Structure 1
Amino acid sequence: MATYLKETYMISITRACKVIRLPKSMFYYQSVKDDTEVINKLLEMVVLRPREGQDKVYQRLRLEGYSWNKKRVRRIYLKLGLNLRRKTKKRIPARVKEPLVQMVRPNQTWSMDFMSDALENGRRFRVLNVIDDFNRKAVTVEAEFTFPSFGVIQCLKRAFEEQGKPSKIRVDNGPEFTSLEFSEWCRVQEIELHYIQPGKPMQNGYIERFNRTFRQDVLDAHLFSGIDQVRHIAEQWMDDYNYTRPHEALGGITPHQAEAKFSSKQACLDEKTSYSKQNKVHLNSV
C-alpha cells in the first residue's frame, strides 16, 4: 500500500507510511528466514505420497528428525497450495508393442474400441465396436448412452453365443477395459487381454480402420433422433458390411465369404487327415 501511494501520488515513503499508519521500519523489513530446505522436503514428500495430508507429513518429518515446528510447516504447506485437492494420475503398467499380423483362423484375435457421437437433441452416446481380425468381420456394434465395464461384459457374452469365444482381445487403455471387473472376467474366461501402448492407436489398426468406415457411413451420414434409431441403422449397416461389401484386404470378397472359404478349406484338411489315418490303420492291420 505504501509503495502504491508513493508511485501514484509522488510522495515520500515517510509520508506514505504515516498515511496508512505503518511503521517505517516495517516497510523496510526483510525476512532473514530461509525456507528453501523446508519447501524442497515438503515437495519431495508430496510427490512420493500425494494422498497424505499436512498432519501426516508433519509426523513423518518429526520421525525423520527434523525440528521444524508445526506452525512453520503449516505456513509453508499453505503457501505452496498443498492443502488443495491434488489429482493423481492412474499409473498404467508397461505395455508391450505387438505387431499387427494376419490371423490364420477365426476367433484367434478380436479387436475392440469405443466411438462417441450425439443425438439430434445433443445427448451423447457411445458405440462399442468389436471385429474379428481374421476376416475383419463386425462381431458386434452396440450403442448405449453409458457403457461401463459391466455393459462391455454383457455385450461380449451375447457375442460369444453367436460367434464363439476368441483366444485374445486387443484393446486400448480405457477405464472400461482396464477395470478389475473386466480383466478378472477375461481371466476366468481364459481370454488373453492385450493392451496397446498409450497414445499409439495404430497398434490397434484393424479396429481403427473399421471405426473410420463406420463413422463415414453411419455416424457422419445420419442425424439421429433417438438411440433406437442408431441401433437400427447400425444393425443394417453391419449386415451389409459382413455379407455384401467387398474388402480389399480380403482380396475383394466379403467377411462372410472369407469365413466360408476358411471353413471349406478346413473341412477338406480334416477329411484328408481322417482318410490318412484310416489308411494307416488299414496298413497296420495287414
Structure 2
Amino acid sequence: MDQPRSSQRYQATPPDGEAALLKQILKLVRRHPRFGYRRIGRMMQATGWKVNLKRIYRLWRREGLKVPRKQRKKRSLGTGANACHRRRPERKNHVWCWDFIFDRTETGTTLKWLTILDEYTRECLALQVDRHITSEHVIDVLAELFKTHGVPEYIRSDNGSEFVSQAIRVWLKRIGVETLYIEPASPWENGYAESFHSRVRDEFMNCEIFENLKSARKQTAAWKEQYNTVRPHSSLGYRTPRDFSEQCSSSRRTTSAFQRNTAETPILS
C-alpha cells in the first residue's frame, strides 16, 4: 500500500469489564480516601471481583491515585518490662490494650473515646464515646466485654488516672487479670493502641463531623463495625479482624472464671 511500517499504529482495546472495575475502584477510594491500592484490591476480591493487584495498581497509577505518606518521627524502643515488644501477645485474649483518644463536636465540645483492643487479633472490642469517662464507667465496659469475649490474661495501658485508680486495680486483681503499665511518657511501649489510634484519627475522626454526642455515638458504632468486619488488616494477611478472630485459638480462660470471681461481690456501677 506504499506506506512505511513505522507509520502504522495499533489501537488498543480495553479489556472487557475494565470500565466497571475502574468505577468500583473509584467508589471505594471515595469511601475510604486513606486506603492504598493493596487494601482496596483486597476489599474488591473479598466482594467477588476476580482481579489481581497488578491490574489494580495499573489502573491506580493511570488515574493518578495516591495516598499521601505521613512523616513519622523515629523513636527508640523503650526499656520497660511491660512494653509491647517485650510482652508480646501469643493468642486471642492473651493481651488486651486500652487507652483514650479525644476530639470535638462541631460546636467545640470535647469528646472522649475509650478504646479496647485485642492485641493478637487486632479486633476493636470497645469504642465508647462520652463527654466524661470515669473509672466506674471503664469497669462497666470491661464487665460486659468479659461476659461476651472472655477474660484476658493481661491488660496493657499507660499510667492515666482512670487506669491506675484503686477501684480498677482491685477489681481486676479479684478477677485475675494482670495489669501491664508502661513506662511514663513512653507511648510507643503501648504500640498496638497507638497504631489503632492513628487509624481512628486518620480514617474516622478526620473524615467525619460530629454534630453532637448522639451523632458521634452513631458514627462511632458504624465505623467500629466497618473496621472489624470490612476493613482488611495488613498485619493479618489482609483479613478482617473479626474473620481472623473467629479462626484463631483463644486463651484458656473463659467467662466462667469471670462469673465465679464476681458471684460474691457485685460489679461496681
Same fold at TM > 0.5: yes
SS at match of 1:199: coil
Match of 2:242 among 248, 256, 260: 256
Listed as ranges, the matches of 1:85-124 within 5 Å are 96-100=81-85, 102-124=88-110
Q: Which residues in structure 2 correspond to 1:25-174 (within 5 Å)?
A: 96-100=81-85, 102-174=88-160
Whole-angstrom distance in 1 between the partners of 2:181 and 2:105: 31
Query: How far is 1:243 from its partner?
Result: 1.0
| Secondary structure at 1:224 match in 2 | coil
Q: Which has the higher helix share?
A: 1
Cα separation, 2, equivalents of 1:140 and 1:218: 15
Q: Residue type matched to 1:201 in 2?
A: P
Amino acid at match of 1:193: T
Q: Secondary structure at the match of 2:232?
A: coil
AA partner of residue 83 (structure 2): E
Indicate the SS of the match to 1:220: helix
Report the Cα distance in structure 1 between the residues aligned to 2:183 and 2:119, rounded to whole angstroms.
Answer: 19
C-alpha distance after superposition, 1:110-152 (max 9, x if no partner): 0100011111111111000000011100001000111111111
The corresponding residue for 2:50 is: none
Aligned ranges 1:120-269 → 2 under 5 Å: 120-263=106-249
In the alignment, is the contact (CA less than 8 A) between 2:84 and 2:191 conserved in 1? no
Describe the superposition over 1:183-241 as per-residue Cα deviations: whole angstroms up to 9, x where unpaired: 11111111100000011101100010100101112222111111111111111111111
TM-superposed deviation, 1:154: 0.8
Query: Which letter does structure 2 place at the counterpart of 1:199?
Result: A
Q: 1:178 to 1:237 in 2, by over 3 A?
A: same
Matches of 1:170 and 1:97, distance apart in 2: 8
C-alpha distance in structure 1 between counterparts of 2:82 and 2:218, whole Å = 37
1:102 CA displacement: 4.7
Long gaps (5+) in structure 2: 1-79, 253-269
SS at match of 1:245: coil
Amino acid corresponding to residue 106 of structure 2 in structure 1: E
Q: How big is the shift at 1:260?
A: 2.3
Per mean C-alpha deviation after superposition, the further-off stretch among 97-106 and 167-176 is 97-106
| Deviation at residue 99 of structure 1 after TM alignment | 4.2
Name the TM-score, length of structure 2 as normaliser: 0.60
* Counterpart code for 1:235: A
- Name the amino acid aligned to 1:98: A
Structure 1 or 2, whichever has the larger Rg, is: 1
Q: How far is the alpha carbon of 1:96 from its aligned partner?
A: 3.5
User: TM-score normalised to the size of structure 1?
Assistant: 0.57
Cα distance, 1:99–1:234 mapped onto 2, change above 3 Å: closer
For the residue of structure 2 that corresponds to 1:186, the secondary structure is helix
Cα distance in 2, alignment partners of residues 185 and 146 from structure 1:
21
- How far apart are the structure 2 equivalents of 1:99 and 1:150? 26
CA RMSD of aligned residues (A): 2.0
1:159-190 residue CA offsets vs partner (Å, 9 max, x unmatched) = 12221111110000000011111111111111
The code of the aligned residue for 1:103 comes to: P
